Chain A
Amino acid sequence: MNAIVISALLGVLMMLSGLFFKRSAAIQWTAIAGSAILLIGSILELIPAGQNKMFYGMLELHHVSSWFNVLMSACVMLYILLFHRSIAKVGRNDAEYFALIFFVMCGIYLMSMYSNLLILFLGIEIMSIPQYIMAGSDKENIKSNESALKYFLMGSFSTGILLMGITLIYGATGSFDLLSPKFTAVFQSGADPSSLAMIGVLLLIVAFGFKTSSSPFHFWTPDVYDGSPTAFTPFMASIVKVGVFMAFIRLFHLSFIQMASHWQLMMALMIALTLLIGNITAVYQQSVKRMLAYSSIAQAGFMLFAVFSTNQTAWDGMMLYSVAYTLSTLGIFAVLIKMKDYTYDGFKGLGKKEPVLAATATICLLSLAGIPLTGGFFAKYFVLNAAMEQGLWIALIIFAVLMAAVSAYYYFKVIMSMYFYEGDAELTEESNAVEKTLMIMNAVLVILLGVMPGLILNH
């Protein structure tokens, strides 16, 4: 509860700070201090085990969700530390941008600990609406406007579908509470639920597919991630996406696990399509930012494996994937935002000119590709192992490994440009010592996760 209340209050506080502080630096420091308070608040909430109900059973703080909240608070703090100067430079309303980030975090906390479909809906909306504004915050840029409009139309369409799913499930059960006897009688008695409930679950998969940018509902992703200001893309592609996945896995593993055989086929098709389209299209991109947008679709395909396999390993894989993917995305975008030219050619010669930036980018790209000794390797290992423990769908797992090999091609292309080609990689601004230290820290964390994944898992 701490995290939810603090993040909502911080959002309001940040909006007001725009009135009190005239200097942008003061606003940025308020945001950094705010994210530190948020981290402390969510650490205080850590409970060793057991369950804790709040707000008349609307929220249920499971130990997995409280630990997830801590990790996401830490990630958002790192995000604000790495990007605060770029965020303030997007437009004139710098205080409001930080306020939006805290409001999105409020939605993510709600989504990681809901136990009522009403809270799931509110969490998704609190998370989405600020993002529409963030996508369009570069008002002078037509691409930013376009991405905001596209994101808004697709996002609210998927909200309508989500609501229809929730309504049908209510029609079949007569309750929104995931733990109430009425609800569990329909979904966890072992008998097949009515067709009304089945269609409801199907519509929920579609709505989550939209929000997590899984094929065939991914088509908005490249334009939105490419058009949004580069300061906001890493936030949207990493922390937000991971939060939606947490809601996804929570709903399907805690409530719909008995009917897994019914939705697993559809999800397997979604995984195969997502991996195929994400990876193959990413190969043909000219711009690194757009390539990363497609690669985030491909990564969503791997995260879907965690939802697909209904066992404990899937939860471990989800946690590890969340952190490894978020850190790697933040790291590569921290480098990308310094570049003047986002094409592969723009990266030529970066290795000689800025060794720290190039090394950070390399480590993060290796992690995204899933090379051993980086966090991404164990993340992929755990989600695929979870699917392996199911014993079914071996072909799908082999296909995923093949696609991971394809992904190595376009990630290595960036590394090649940085180290093996002569060129003059132009930067928009020099990064100062603090930023370089943070980047090194980020890279070290990625490697640390690859050596000791137990840091995340033993909780």
Chain B
Amino acid sequence: MPSQYYLFLGFALFCIGVMGVLMRRNAIIILMCIELMLNAVNLLLVTFSKMHQNADAQLFVFFIMVVAAAEVSVGLSIIVLMYRKVRSIDINILNRLKN
């Protein structure tokens, strides 16, 4: 199977993630879309690593996974904090609160 397929899949997943962040209004779904972006990058890195015959990028993937885990733990706790206050995780409610 040529590695271009993986590249196209990676780019497609990344674009889906970006569109999701821009269009969805639910904080958890936005978080999932950000994770999708990071995992698309992981897939691309592994593919490029295979193409260049070089293992650096595979190491990079491990770092991305660790950082993503740390980020999600902070992010979910922020969302929980928000939910306790306003009983909603819709990010539109933030703009309504301001006025």
Contact = CB atoms under 8 A, between A and B. Distances in A.
B9 to A, nearest CB: 14
A157 B17 CA distance: 10
A125 B44 contact: no
A145 interface: yes
B70 A129 contact: yes
Contacts of B56: 170, 175-176
Contact of B82 (A129, A132, A149, A166): A149
A163 interface: yes
Contact of B86 (A121, A142, A159): A142
Contacts of B21: 153, 157
Q: What range describes how many residues of A lie at the interface?
A: 20 to 34
Given A122-B67, A142-B97, A150-B94, A171 B78 contact: no
A435 interface: no
Nearest to A180: B56
Given A121-B63, A170-B57, A171-B48, A163 B41 contact: yes
Interface in B36-59: 37-38, 40-41, 44-45, 48, 51-52, 54, 56-57, 59
A270 B68 CA distance: 29
Interface in A28-84: none
Contact of B79 (A149, A160, A170): A149
B75 A132 contact: yes
A164 B34 contact: no
A262 interface: no
A81 to B, nearest CB: 28
A156 B60 contact: no
A61 B4 CA distance: 39
A345 interface: no
Interface of B, helix, strand, loop or mixed by DSSP: helix
Contact of A148 (B59, B67, B81): B81
B78 A167 contact: no
Contacts of B78: 132, 136, 145, 148-149, 152
Contacts of B40: 164
A174 interface: yes
Contacts of A175: 54, 56
B12 interface: no
Nearest to A118: B60
B91 A153 contact: yes
B87 interface: no
A373 interface: no
Contacts of A156: 31, 34, 71, 75
Given A150-B94, A153-B30, A175-B56, A164 B37 contact: yes
Contact of A174 (B30, B54, B86): B54
A167 B37 contact: no
A149 B91 contact: yes
Given A118-B63, A145-B81, A176-B56, A152 B37 contact: no
A341 interface: no
A146 interface: yes
A82 to B, nearest CB: 27
Contacts of A125: 67, 70-71
A445 interface: no
A413 interface: no
B64 interface: yes
B80 to A, nearest CB: 10
Nearest to B70: A129
A139 B17 CA distance: 30
A159 B30 contact: no
Contact of A157 (B34, B54, B67, B86): B34
Contacts of B67: 121-122, 125, 129, 159
A160 B21 CA distance: 11
Contacts of A159: 38, 67, 71
Nearest to B43: A167
Nearest to B14: A164
Interface in A66-124: 118, 121-122
Contact of B44 (A121, A136, A145, A167): A167
Contacts of A118: 59-60, 63
Contacts of A163: 37-38, 41, 64
B22 to A, nearest CB: 9
A145 B54 contact: no
Contact of B41 (A136, A157, A160): A160
17 contacts: A121-B60, A125-B70, A142-B97, A145-B81, A145-B82, A146-B98, A148-B78, A149-B82, A152-B75, A153-B21, A153-B31, A160-B41, A163-B41, A167-B48, A170-B57, A171-B51, A175-B56
- Enumerate the 3 nearest inter-chain pairs by beta-carbon distance, A residue then B residue, closest first: A160-B37, A174-B52, A163-B41
Interface of B: 14, 17-18, 21, 27, 30-31, 34, 37-38, 40-41, 44-45, 48, 51-52, 54, 56-57, 59-60, 63-64, 67, 70-71, 74-75, 78-79, 81-82, 85-86, 91, 94, 97-98
Given A133-B74, A145-B81, A167-B45, 10 more contacts: A118-B63, A122-B63, A129-B71, A152-B75, A160-B41, A164-B14, A167-B48, A170-B52, A171-B51, A223-B98
